[in-house]
Structure 1
Amino acid sequence: MARTVAHVIVDSLKELGVQHVFGVVGDALNPLTDAIRTTDGLEWVGCRHEEAAAFAAGAQSQLSGTLGVCMGTVGPGSVHLLNGLYDAAKSRAPVLAICGQVPLAEIGSDYFQEVDNDLLFRDVAVYRATVTSPEQMPRMLESAVRAAISQGGVAVLTVPGDLGDQELTEDRPTRFALDRAVTRPDDPALAEAAELLNSASRVTLLVGRGARDARAEVLRTAERLTAPMVLTLKAKEGFEDGNAFQVGQTGLIGNPAAAHALDHGEALLMLGTDFPYRDWYPKDCKVVQIDTREENLGRRVPVDVGLSGDVGATLRALLPLLEETSDRTHLDDARERFTQWQEGQQRLADPAHERRWTGKLRAVLDNRDHQIRPEALAAAVDAYAADDAVFTSDTGMATVWLSRFVTMRGSRRLIGSYNLGSMANAMPQALGAQLWAPDRQIVAFCGDGGLSMLLGDLMTIKTYRLPVKLVVFDNRRLGMVKLEQEQAGLPEFGTELDNPDFAAVATALGITGIRVTDPADLHDSVRRALETPGPVLLDVLTNPEEVAVPGKPTVSQGWGFAIAKVKEILPSREG
């Protein structure tokens, strides 16, 4: 029996191993959602906002390494997908978005809700096309999926509402042919890189997400060169645990040891990273960069030797050419600085910190009401969370505290909007993660601003009985924006949030809600939240004046902060 366009799409997704399709139902999608309804092994996950659906699909793609799928109906439904799709695109996550469209005969007539999807998604998608006849299937679907997976990006397939039910005249099986090649540079380029690295007495590694599958080769390289290893945030997942060379992150969320290791190296070896912040790269330093994407070579910092290829395959060919380095001074110095910084951070996270004289002195400046410090909350979650937990984090201060206090030990995983930098990603990404791994603990580090932006999808978590643990850093602020304003010498403005009792909101929705206001209750509350079956929202009122000092603070930042505080305290006489 001939299949319809909708059934070709749905059957093919099932054959690919897709288990969940996220979206909001709508008339143009009816043939597709009905095909999902009658297909075993493929579940429709009805979200309250299409943006959440796209974030959830992108999360599944990042965690599984396979295709994530979301849907949006005609016009506004498709528009709402955009932010989550941009996050997938910036994260190089293969995602297929299937969008509805007005009836074929009405395309181009400014019909009700009509949006030109091929134009709308031009910037975000590596592939976009509108199906205009059943005969284009399954070829057009194959092209969309191949593009998304091979290029690590978003593919958008638009299906007019009256086309999904039409039957194919010549039906055939779908063929995707998705094998990827593993490449490495040629021998002369490797020899040039080895010569540069061998001639440097102090080498520092900057390791990113693109090196995650080459952990063993990266560690052997660090050992051969006795090189400290600076990790990007996305590399925490694969390189933080059991690594005697790593010195944490650099940049605004980083630490002094990582900044020192970068600034005092004679050579920098970049592995699978496109770390975007140019001000944090070392000056007057020789640079070797390995990346699968040639367009990334030299994009952030001038590169002396650029090697295009898979990090693992390239290092396996490079390692025999590297000379053993016996001088450990550079590595030991960086590691000692890192250990000292970690010890200071742990003292700050200790609930008893403010009973000591140093804590009392600091509290006079930044925590006069003795509210819960966000460092203590993050450290408590790290202590009680499972060794195979999956963490998500909202952009902003929630990510800062996660980066500094949560260790990616065991088989823990980590995702966030670390390239796009969107708000409101942690909760919907946790939703997708929990469906991907129903037996693992999923912990979302939510900012109060991010959570409230897509608050409606708490109901999705409740509807599907997902045991997600939402940890809310409730400082009643857009914390990162507040810090940025103050470092620039501006008084805080527009960042204060009139929050509800989030725990009470969760309780009203049928989710366990726990609210914490007293530092003495913090550890017991975190433990209870993580041990309670089913979904839990832990609303912790944290200190809004907390400052995350960057790894390399500048005089201008400190002076700006002081000026801002004076402006905040003194009444304005302007106007």
Structure 2
Amino acid sequence: MTTVADMIIDSLHRLGVRTVWGVVGDALNPLTDAIRRNPDMRWIGVRHEEAGAFAAGAQAQVSGTLGVCMGTVGPGSIHLLNGLYDAKKSQAPVLAICGQVPTPEIGSDYFQEIDNDLLFTDVAGFRATVTSAAQMPRLLSQAVNAAYAGPGVAVLTLPGDVGEMEMPADAGRPQFVTARPVPHPDPQVLEDAVTLLEEASNVTILAGIGAAAAKDELLALAGKLSAPMVLTIKGKGLEENNPFEVGQSGLIGNPASKTAFDGADVLLMVGTDFPYPEWLPKVPTIQIDVKAEHIGRRTPVQVGLVADAAVGVRSLTARVTAKPGTGHLDKAREHYADWRERQQALLGGGKGSLPGRILARARRPFENPSGRIRPELLADVVDRVAAPDAVITTDTGMSTVWASRFLRMRGNRQLVGSFGLGSMANAMPQALGIQALDTGREVVSLSGDGGLTMLLGDLITAVVEQLPVRVVVFNNGRLGMVKLEQEQVGLPEFGTVLTNPDLAAVARSLGWSSWRVEKAEDLEEITRKAFATPGPVLLDVLTNPDEISLPPQVTSDKAWGFAIAKVKETLESPA
């Protein structure tokens, strides 16, 4: 006898799914038992369903294949929401299977009953509740195909009694469509884009994750246009061996990106849904994206090319003529090199230019009077120690700032974070998910102390499942980004101080190898030792909470607000 649950798990196995994340519960029992009986499938029981959803979403981002998580009736399904929203915002194909009360009780306000189809309306492109075996495998096909087509989230709700039902003999097998068509640009629209580029004196490119597979094409086009290339944080993988890149824009960016934007008379956006229009130049804009609904939703666009990034960029390169001058590119690149020199000076040890080192020494008594470890130094050490093919996850907030500025995506490195949703607590569970795909590949989580402690229980999951992740904690005793936001508008820091345990001791008690690092001179040696240690490893690094992270453009009101906040904090602090 083949049950509905058997059919679902067997079908997902044929699709290539090997891990399912969740917390067991009564309505899921038919499904988890089917997983138990399949030797190639792995149930990973997390301590919080949110962690399972983050893990499944991260797997989908890194592999491009379906991630699967489960939540049982009511609260178990609700707990999936935050991780699923992250998958939606990251355009990751994820299937969530949710338990439901027995079908005779649906609609009776039964114990733990919630309306999953209503609950997941905003997060899932497809939602359905299975009420009979005859609906399968059609609903499973629709759910998986919708997740891939988005790509995004699909939710299938399964009452426990339906999971146990026998499948009809003539039910057939689900038909999964995992390939997506490669859209080509409209010829007339392409010519409009070429005309705009030909008329421009200075072009700047903004490239995102959608251009990840089009690096060679982008470099060729940037070369013909002599165009500096600003990269989104998701597009950071395009930076290595790229003579046109000038780093990131936005709050995590640098002044060179502003130079590149300010000097442009045409902006070319490729594969990006960069969400901060206030940072973009007000110039004629060409946008290339596979999704028509993304065209023009961040900034007004003169030409919108609905096309695969590689195809669209290659088509432009073949048609535009090379621009003779490189002044725009040279200016942006010079500013970028100067800024990177100043950043290196913050690391100490004689790094960076002489003016940068002088500025770093001048800042030290104000920013770091207690001499705690600079977060910049920690990010730099991780960059030098981590493997060239490491996958690095980063918590939202200051961890992302330091990753943006000091990590280089050399080799086959990948960077994953909650870059669309901006959730706390994402880095560690995402690292678990990615590590479960390949225990031989190095996976590093750059966690904030606030983010790590929010889902601290799932450190246990790494031990139980023997996942050798490296968790590096920027432990500044603060919600650092919130602190910075308060001070920029002149408010004194309030509500951001965290009272943390010894996180290394906590991890050690859970079965991790762990170290607590308090001195800068010990940091690199301990980091190298930790990264060479088998099994899950945690580094609890005490970093400076008052580090100043300046955006590309510091307006006078923000500078004055920061000064006022510091005065207030000094006056209000206990003697």
Taking the aligned partners of 2:242 and 2:573, their CA distance within structure 1 comes to 52
Q: Structure 2 vs 1, CA of residues 177 and 368 (structure 1 numbering), >3 Å: closer, same or farther?
A: closer
Contact 1:472 1:537 survives alignment (8 Å)? yes
Match in the other structure for 1:288: 286
Match in the other structure for 2:386: 385
Give the secondary-structure state (helix, strand or coil) at the position aligned to 2:281. coil
Taking the aligned partners of 1:351 and 1:21, their CA distance within structure 2 comes to 47
Taking the aligned partners of 1:516 and 1:550, their CA distance within structure 2 comes to 28
Match in the other structure for 1:544: 545
Tell me whether 1:323 sits opposite 2:315 in the alignment.
no
Tell me whether 1:481 sits opposite 2:482 in the alignment.
yes
Taking the aligned partners of 1:319 and 1:441, their CA distance within structure 2 comes to 37
Contact 1:472 1:538 survives alignment (8 Å)? yes
Taking the aligned partners of 1:300 and 1:571, their CA distance within structure 2 comes to 41
Tell me whether 1:141 sits opposite 2:135 in the alignment.
no
Instruction: Please report how far the alpha carbon of residue 200 of structure 1 lies from its aligned counterpart in structure 2 after TM superposition.
Output: 0.6
Instruction: Please report how far the alpha carbon of residue 174 of structure 1 lies from its aligned counterpart in structure 2 after TM superposition.
Output: 2.1
Match in the other structure for 2:304: 306
Give the secondary-structure state (helix, strand or coil) at the position aligned to 2:515. strand
Give the secondary-structure state (helix, strand or coil) at the position aligned to 2:230. strand
**Which AA in structure 1 matches 2:54?**
F
Taking the aligned partners of 2:76 and 2:135, their CA distance within structure 1 comes to 24
CA deviations on 1:115-163 (whole Å, 9 max, x unpaired) are 1000000000000000000011101000000000011110000000111
Match in the other structure for 1:337: 335
Taking the aligned partners of 1:351 and 1:470, their CA distance within structure 2 comes to 26
Match in the other structure for 2:178: 178
Instruction: Please report how far the alpha carbon of residue 177 of structure 1 lies from its aligned counterpart in structure 2 after TM superposition.
Output: 3.0
Instruction: Please report how far the alpha carbon of residue 359 of structure 1 lies from its aligned counterpart in structure 2 after TM superposition.
Output: 3.7
More off after superposition, 359-368 vs 208-217: 359-368
Give the secondary-structure state (helix, strand or coil) at the position aligned to 2:362. helix
Match in the other structure for 2:423: 422
Contact 2:148 2:177 survives alignment (8 Å)? no
CA deviations on 1:459-511 (whole Å, 9 max, x unpaired) are 00111111100000000000000000000100000000000000000011110
Q: Normalization by structure 2: what TM-score?
A: 0.97
Match in the other structure for 1:217: 217
CA deviations on 1:154-179 (whole Å, 9 max, x unpaired) are 00000001111110123312211333
CA deviations on 1:503-561 (whole Å, 9 max, x unpaired) are 00001111011000111111111111111111111000000000111111111110000
Give the secondary-structure state (helix, strand or coil) at the position aligned to 2:162. coil
Contact 2:290 2:306 survives alignment (8 Å)? yes
Match in the other structure for 1:115: 114
Tell me whether 1:43 sits opposite 2:25 in the alignment.
no
- Structure 2 runs not aligned, ≥5 long: none
**Which AA in structure 2 matches 1:149?**
Y
Taking the aligned partners of 1:571 and 1:430, their CA distance within structure 2 comes to 40
Match in the other structure for 1:457: 458
Taking the aligned partners of 1:572 and 1:398, their CA distance within structure 2 comes to 27
Give the secondary-structure state (helix, strand or coil) at the position aligned to 2:235. helix
Match in the other structure for 1:253: 252
Taking the aligned partners of 1:343 and 1:539, their CA distance within structure 2 comes to 28
Q: Structure 2 vs 1, CA of residues 351 and 444 (structure 1 numbering), >3 Å: closer, same or farther?
A: farther
Taking the aligned partners of 1:571 and 1:515, their CA distance within structure 2 comes to 31
Q: How does 1:17-96 map to 2 (within 5 A)?
A: 17-96=16-95
Give the secondary-structure state (helix, strand or coil) at the position aligned to 1:233. coil
Give the secondary-structure state (helix, strand or coil) at the position aligned to 1:234. coil
Match in the other structure for 1:101: 100
Contact 2:268 2:286 survives alignment (8 Å)? yes
Match in the other structure for 1:404: 405
CA RMSD in angstroms, aligned pairs only: 1.4
Match in the other structure for 1:348: 346
Contact 1:443 1:468 survives alignment (8 Å)? yes
- Structure 1 runs not aligned, ≥5 long: none
Contact 2:471 2:537 survives alignment (8 Å)? yes
Give the secondary-structure state (helix, strand or coil) at the position aligned to 2:572. coil
Match in the other structure for 1:433: 434
Give the secondary-structure state (helix, strand or coil) at the position aligned to 1:515. strand
Contact 2:221 2:314 survives alignment (8 Å)? no
Give the secondary-structure state (helix, strand or coil) at the position aligned to 2:163. coil
Contact 1:349 1:376 survives alignment (8 Å)? yes
Instruction: Please report how far the alpha carbon of residue 351 of structure 1 lies from its aligned counterpart in structure 2 after TM superposition.
Output: 5.0
Match in the other structure for 2:196: 196
Instruction: Please report how far the alpha carbon of residue 187 of structure 1 lies from its aligned counterpart in structure 2 after TM superposition.
Output: 1.3
Taking the aligned partners of 1:141 and 1:492, their CA distance within structure 2 comes to 50
**Which AA in structure 2 matches 1:200?**
A
Contact 1:423 1:450 survives alignment (8 Å)? yes
Taking the aligned partners of 2:302 and 2:348, their CA distance within structure 1 comes to 45
Taking the aligned partners of 1:182 and 1:373, their CA distance within structure 2 comes to 45
Give the secondary-structure state (helix, strand or coil) at the position aligned to 2:234. helix
Match in the other structure for 1:7: 6
CA deviations on 1:73-123 (whole Å, 9 max, x unpaired) are 000000000000000000000100000000000000000000100000000
Give the secondary-structure state (helix, strand or coil) at the position aligned to 2:21. strand
Q: How does 1:493-572 map to 2 (within 5 A)?
A: 493-571=494-572
Match in the other structure for 1:362: 363
More off after superposition, 395-404 vs 355-364: 355-364
**Which AA in structure 2 matches 1:177?**
V
Q: Normalization by structure 1: what TM-score?
A: 0.97
Instruction: Please report how far the alpha carbon of residue 572 of structure 1 lies from its aligned counterpart in structure 2 after TM superposition.
Output: 8.6
Contact 2:345 2:360 survives alignment (8 Å)? no
Taking the aligned partners of 1:193 and 1:12, their CA distance within structure 2 comes to 45
Identical pairs, percent: 59
Contact 1:351 1:520 survives alignment (8 Å)? no
Taking the aligned partners of 1:184 and 1:565, their CA distance within structure 2 comes to 54
Instruction: Please report how far the alpha carbon of residue 350 of structure 1 lies from its aligned counterpart in structure 2 after TM superposition.
Output: 2.9
Taking the aligned partners of 1:106 and 1:346, their CA distance within structure 2 comes to 64
**Which AA in structure 2 matches 1:5?**
V
Instruction: Please report how far the alpha carbon of residue 388 of structure 1 lies from its aligned counterpart in structure 2 after TM superposition.
Output: 0.4
Taking the aligned partners of 2:305 and 2:26, their CA distance within structure 1 comes to 50
**Which AA in structure 2 matches 1:269?**
L
Taking the aligned partners of 1:417 and 1:307, their CA distance within structure 2 comes to 27
Taking the aligned partners of 1:172 and 1:200, their CA distance within structure 2 comes to 58
CA deviations on 1:431-484 (whole Å, 9 max, x unpaired) are 001011211110000000000000000000111111100000000000000000
Taking the aligned partners of 1:48 and 1:498, their CA distance within structure 2 comes to 23
CA deviations on 1:207-240 (whole Å, 9 max, x unpaired) are 0111111111111110110100000000012x11
Q: How does 1:217-236 map to 2 (within 5 A)?
A: 217-236=217-236
* Count of aligned pairs between the two proteins: 570
Contact 1:75 1:115 survives alignment (8 Å)? yes
**Which AA in structure 1 matches 2:300?**
P
Q: Structure 2 vs 1, CA of residues 339 and 484 (structure 1 numbering), >3 Å: closer, same or farther?
A: same
Taking the aligned partners of 1:350 and 1:462, their CA distance within structure 2 comes to 36
Contact 1:353 1:359 survives alignment (8 Å)? no
Taking the aligned partners of 2:279 and 2:359, their CA distance within structure 1 comes to 31
Contact 1:3 1:171 survives alignment (8 Å)? no
Give the secondary-structure state (helix, strand or coil) at the position aligned to 1:54. helix
